[in-house]
Each structure stands twice: as structure tokens, then as C-alpha cells.
Copies of this chain bind each other. A is one copy, B any other.
Amino acid sequence: MGLPKEVQNLSDLFSSLPSIGPKLSNRLALFLSVNGKSLASKLSHSLDEVVKSIRLCSNCSNITDTDFCEICTDSSRDRSIVIVVEDSLDLYNLEQTGEYKGMYQVLGGLISPINGIGPRDIKIDQLLNRLQDGEIKEIILALNPNLEGDSTGLYIKNEIDKLGLDIKLTRLAKGIPAGSDIEFASSQTLIDSFNSRVSF
């Protein structure tokens, strides 16, 4: 015999979420069925709210519950500079630094042929369209420093070059993370930080 079908169904749905394996999904389903029923009701309601209200910003594809996101509607921000990120969580992590007061472009993914994601599947066209009116002067790529991030950056660079606009294109520096230990840094990290060494 197995779990009651309602609990099994809930567990199966949890296990199709990222980073949740079969043991944890069973644990969550059981918890919500026995001791967490009031939490289960709240969670159900919250999921309905998200399905109903959340969409992508018409300008930058950040998640929002209005037509344009909080950043795009903030008139105090610098519209001449755009940071390109993979998803809204990267955007919020950058926002938490409090250092940056420009705009964003959320791609909603990275080019990844192995996963069947091509340039048309992410919001590169939206970025290129935003360049047409000449307001944007600098684009900063803040994509993960791996194969997919690098290929996506390269593709964006080629497309911007084709437009023949005077736009500065940069990417975040690669190097040793603050608070880490050189002893444990990978070879590639050390090579990156050596090649990008700055005067002291």
C-alpha cells in the first residue's frame, strides 16, 4: 500500500519543482496533510494569486503585478544604462547591493542548444528593440560566468554590433570573490583574476 492518492498527487507535484527530490516532496506533502493544513490553505490561495496577478514587465520582462515593473516606472532611475540578467532573482540580488540606479533587461533564460533554448526563446529581441530610440548608452552583461552565460553574451554583442549604434558593452568582472580564500580558488578563477589584475 502507498500514500493516499491526494497526498501522493501533492508529493508528485512538489517533486516536479526545481531542487525538490522524492524524499523531500514526500516530507512536504505529509507535513501539509497533517500538521500544516492551515499553511496548505494559505499556500493554495497564494499560488492562485500569483497565477492571476504576476506577468512580465512590458519593457524589461522583470516579474511584476502591473504592466510595467517598479524599476521601469521609477522616474528617478538612469535610463541610459541597462544591466542584462538571466532572471528576476539575479536582478533582485543586484538591487540588494543598493549601488546601481539604472535599468535592467531580464532575458528569462540563457542560450543553451543542449536544452533546446535558442536566441529567439529569450528576450534578446526586446533588448535590441529598446536600443532603437538611442536613449541607452551602456549595456552591462551580468550573466553567470559559464558556457551558457558566455555564449549568450557573445550573441548579444554580435547583434548590437550589427545595429551599428554607439553603445558601450561591458560585463561584470571575473575574479576572486570577496571573503574567499586563494587556497581554495579554482584555476580558472585565478587565471581570470590574474588577467584582470588592477593597479594597487
A46–B29 CA distance with the chains assembled, in angstroms: 10
- A-side interface size class: 35 or more
Q: A17-B28, A89-B27 are in contact. Are A71 and B1 (CB under 8 A)?
A: yes
Q: A4-B53, A92-B2 are in contact. Are A47 and B65 (CB under 8 A)?
A: no
Q: Does A34 belong to the interface (CB within 8 Å)?
A: yes
**Is A88 a contact partner of B3 (Cβ separation < 8 A)?**
yes
Copies in the complex: 2
1/0 per residue A7-36: CB within 8 Å of B?
101100110111110001011111111101
Q: A1-B70, A64-B4 are in contact. Are A17 and B33 (CB under 8 A)?
A: no
Instruction: Look across to chain B and name the residue whose beta carbon is closest to the beta carbon of A49.
Output: B6
Residues 36-94 of A contacting B (Cβ, < 8 Å): 36-37, 39-51, 53-54, 56, 63-65, 70-71, 74, 87-89, 92
**Is A47 a contact partner of B92 (Cβ separation < 8 A)?**
no
Among all A-B residue pairs, the 10 with the closest Cβ atoms? A44-B47, A33-B54, A44-B44, A4-B65, A10-B46, A1-B70, A6-B49, A40-B47, A33-B50, A6-B50
